[in-house]
Each structure stands twice: as structure tokens, then as C-alpha cells.
Amino acid sequence: MAAIDETHDGALRSWVESANGHGDFPIQNLPLGVFSRPGEAARGGVAIGDSVLDLAALAGSGLLEREALEAAGAASGDTLNPLLALGAGPRRALRRRLSALLAKGAAERPQVEPLLVPMAEATLHLPARIADYTDFYVGIHHATNIGKLFRPDNPLLPNYKHVPIGYHGRASTVRPSGAPVIRPNGQTKAPDAEGPSFGPIARLDYELELGVWMAQGNELGQPIPIEAALDHVAGLTLLNDWSARDLQAWEYQPLGPFLAKNFLTTVSPWLVTMEALAPFRIAQPPRPEGDPRPLPYLWDEADQRGGALSLDLEVRLSTEKMREQGLPAERLSRGPASNMYWTIAQMVTHHASNGCEMNPGDLLGTGTISGPEHGTQGSLMEITRSGREKVTLPTGETRTFLEDGDELMLSGRFVAEGAVSIGFGPCTGVVQAAVPFK
């Protein structure tokens, strides 16, 4: 696990004034991403307050050396995959050098300041080229809440507490925050209908998740032991696994999610590194009495002591009418990421336990993170009890599922005593009408 060092100092301030007190990107964060400006090539960058530090320009500035220079050079192209492949050492060296260069009083400020790009002028792209995307199901309260809707007497299937369940998603439809959410067409069947029909789906939902970006991979046939699993993780992002619930209900048996999930997945474009998260590691909540202990390949005492995150997650909704009236977005839910039943390390180790090859830039979704209480659920399916209970908004509008024009916003904030809070930046999408099927 990454260690706490001088880059996490709560007293540290930056000469980039917008970073001081910034809700997401103070100097203690320094997340990685890929950006471009009109007419310019995409390249790696680091968020600092309301600006982006151009890593390609920094690599040629003469201000870096050894591992930090290697890392910035690897991040100079249109994807961070080469940087992720280097592993934690160069990434950590770059972070420490960036922190020193951006700290208040840094002698190098005159050389660094011209390398900053206003965030408002930057187009943000996916941080990595994704070859494979896997979505897990580690939010036990979500699994329980959904299970109760269909199996009230037996909400959790027998394998849930023994194995981190997942399915392979579609990497080609992962997009950064702000990409339009085009309502999918699909084949559905109403419970009282004689047969299925095809057209725009009606029960469009979101799922509040974390995305896990893989760093160094493993060779085919070689598992990743749990004590080394986090060495293979570069960092985290917010992830919205948009879901067509009516399509899902018709197609998911017997092989699970397919078209109901693969039309779009939205991620926040900044990769918050594992190094930045060091002050926010907390103990994994103990399993309830009577729950089975995981098999040895999934159990590590160090992971149990620091495998969870002190992270508050929130979902807000804004309708077209609310925006026209100047009303703030309505909070749908809020809860801690510690509601994950399985840790990130357990997800990675299980994924590779059969020898599956993992590669830099692979993306893992945690699955929906919900809490047990009302107001902590991570999907409308849970909040509205599959459409049986409506959400009433300040305009008097009601929702059971998302409608065209709705904007859905995920946010996450890492909070710990003595540490400066950091975040992911926005993860948003506006629902658009379905494209007519010709």
C-alpha cells in the first residue's frame, strides 16, 4: 500500500491559488488525466485547482529527472497506458516532484506557471485506452435490496459471500463525464404482454460505482496474490453503469447482463492515484457474525486493516424544468464507500485467480454501492422499489426512472481527520431521446 509522505501534509499550500481550498483538486490530490485544447493533440495532464499542468510540456522543461522524467514522458501521449505500465515507483516519483514544483514558495514557479492550462479551456478524455472492462457486484446492500424485490425470502444467492461476483462489460462504450446518455432501444416484455416488443426503453436507471484502473498487469496463467494486488492498481474514478431495467428483466436469464448494460458507461476523467489515497485507507468493516470467512487466496490481514476507503458518495438529479427555474440539483442518495463487502484487492486477486491476463488500463467497476437505509441507495431501482414508489422533486415533478432531459451527477469526496479532503471531479450525463430505429 502507498505510504503517507510529505505530499499529504495538511499544511501544504500551492502557489496555484485556486487549488487552496478546492473541493476536488488541492495540491494533496494531483490526479492524472488526458486533455486537449482546440487544434492541439491530446496529452497527459495533472489537475491542480482550476488548471491542468501539461505533462508533455513538463517532460521537456528540464525540471524533471530519473523516474519522474520517465513517468512524465510516458504520460506525454494521448493515453496514460504507458505510464500505468511503469508501476508505482515512477508514478510516486512524479507525484513527489510535482508536489514540490507546485508548492507555495517553489523557486521553479516562473518555469512551471506557463505550463498550466485553464481547466475551462481543456477537453477531457478517457485517461487510458481500455482493452477490457469488468463490472463486479461488491455492494452487499445493493445486492440485498435488489434481491428482496425478486426473492423476498432469499435475497442473496448462496455464492455471494464466498466469491466476488462479476461479469465482462463492453469497453467500447465507456465515455468520460459529459458524454450524452442516448436512451437505448431494446427488446422488452411487459409482465402482462403476450410477447416482446422493440423500441425505446422506459426504465432507464443509473448505478453509483467506483472504477478501478489497472496499472501493471500479469502474464496469462499467472495469478496475482492478494498481498500484491494493490501494486497492480493505479487509482480510482467514479463510474456510472447506466442500466435499462426493462430490457435487463427480459434478457438477463440465463447468462446475465448484456444490452441492458453495454450502451454506455460514464467515468469521471481524472484518475485519483493510489498514492493520493494513502490517508484515506480504513479498516474493512468486519463481516457480520455467521458470515463465512473467505478462502485463503482472498484473505490478507493487511488488506483487512486498510482495504476500505473513507469516501462519501453522493448522487444528484436535475430535470430540465429544475434548470429552467434555476433550482439546484436534488440529492437522491448519499453514503459511504465502506458499504463494499469485498475490497479492491479481493476483486483484483479473484479476477486473476484463474490465470486471466490483466493489462495496464483495464477498468474494473465495483458494482453499485448502496447502504441499508433509505437515502443511501445507489440506484433508482432501489429508491423507487422497482418503480412502485415515486421520487417527488422541488418542481412537483415525480420520477420512478430517468426521463429525457434529466441530468444525473455522481460525486465523491475522500475525508479523514487531519487530511485535506480530495475528490474526483464531475461524473455527469444528460439523458437524450432514443435514436429512431430504421
pLDDT in tens, 203-250: 999 999 999 999 999 999 999 999 999 999 999 999 999 999 999 999
| CATH number for position 223 | 3.90.850.10
The C-alpha R_g of the chain, in whole angstroms, comes to: 22
Q: Quick one: 120 and 139 in the same domain? A: no
**Residue 1 belongs to some domain of the structure:** no
Find the domain containing 94 and state its range: 6-125
Measure CA of the first residue to CA of the last residue in the chain; give whole Å.
52
> Rounded CA gap, 353 and 84, in Å?
21
241 is in an annotated binding site: yes
pLDDT in tens, 132-184: 999 999 999 999 999 888 888 888 989 999 999 999 999 999 999 999 999 99
Q: Which of 78, 75, 72, 15 lies closest to 48, judged by CA?
A: 15
Domain count, the chain: 2
Residues 366 and 218 in one domain: yes
- Choosing from 83, 107, 125, the residue where a domain stops is 125
Residue 261 annotated as binding?
Answer: yes
pLDDT above 90 (res 48): yes
CATH code of the domain covering residue 32:
2.30.30.230
Averaged pLDDT of the chain: 96
Contact 298, 226 (CB under 8 A): yes
For residues 293 and 350, membership in a common domain is answered with yes
What is the distance of C-alpha 213 from the center of its chain?
9
Q: Is residue 68 part of a domain?
A: yes
Known binder of ligand: residue 297?
no
Q: Are residues 214 and 266 in the same domain?
A: yes
| Share of residues in the chain with pLDDT > 70 (%) | 100
Bridge partners of 36, per DSSP, are: 123
* Same domain as 366, residue 272: yes
Residues 100 and 191 in one domain: no
147 shares its domain with 101:
no
Is the same domain home to 286 and 374?
Answer: yes
Tell me the pLDDT tens digit for each residue of 97-136.
999 999 999 999 999 999 999 999 999 999 999 999 999 9
Q: Is 137 annotated as a binding residue?
A: yes
Residue 332 and residue 255 share a domain: yes
**Which residue of the set 8, 22, 142, 350 is catalytic?**
142
Q: Is 368 annotated as a binding residue?
A: yes
348 lies in some domain: yes
The answer to whether residue 1 scores a pLDDT higher than 80 is no
Q: What is the 3-state secondary structure (H, E, C) of the chain?
A: CCCCCHHHCCCCCECCHHHCCCCCCCCCCCCEEEEECCCCCCEEEEEECCEEEEHHHHHCCCCCCHHHHHHHHHCCCCCCHHHHHHCHHHHHHHHHHHHHHHECCCCCHHHHHHHEEEHHHCEEECCCCCCCEEEECCEHHHHHHHHHHHCCCCCCCCCCCCCCCEEECCHHHEEECCCCEECCEEEECCCCCCCCEEEECCCEECCEEEEEEECCCCCCCCCCCHHHHHHHEEEEEEEEECEEHHHHHHHCCCCCCCCCCCCCEEECCCEEECCCCHHHEECCCCCCCCCCCCCHHHCCHHHHHHCEECEEEEEEEECHHHHHCCCCCEEEEEEEHHHECCCHHHHHHHHHCCCCCCCCCCEEECCCCCCCCCCCCCCHHHHCCCCCCCEECCCCCEECCECCCCEEEEEEEECCCCCCCEECCCEEEEEECCCCCC
Looking at the structure, tell me whether residues 40 and 94 fall in a common domain: yes
22 is catalytic: no
Q: Does the annotation list 403 as a binding residue?
A: no
Considering the domain architecture, whether residues 103 and 138 belong to the same structural domain is answered as no
Summarize the confidence of residues 401-426 as an average pLDDT: 98
pTM of the model: 0.96
Would 437 be classed as within a structural domain? no
362 labeled part of a ligand binding site: no
